[in-house]
Amino acid sequence: MAKRKIKPPKKRILKKKGFKKGSSKKGVQNKEFKKETH
């Protein structure tokens, strides 16, 4: 359970970092990576 709770925040930080960078390409890659991980 602890591992599961730690995963969401980490993913949110990655998304925020990509948004802050303003990299459309990185955002798309992140989305694809999320799809493959799911």
- Could you read off the pLDDT of 1-38 as tens digits, one per residue? 566 666 666 666 666 665 555 555 555 666 666 666 55
**Are residues 19 and 30 in contact, defined by beta-carbon separation less than 8 angstroms?**
no
**Are residues 27 and 18 in contact, defined by beta-carbon separation less than 8 angstroms?**
yes
pLDDT of residue 14: 62
Q: Where does 1-38 have alpha helices with state H?
A: 2-21, 24-37
**Domain tally for the chain?**
1
Separation CA 11–CA 7 (nearest Å): 6
pLDDT of residue 3: 64
pLDDT of residue 38: 55
pTM: 0.20
Query: What is the span of the domain harbouring residue 16?
Result: 2-37
The token pair that represents 7 in the structure block: 């995963």
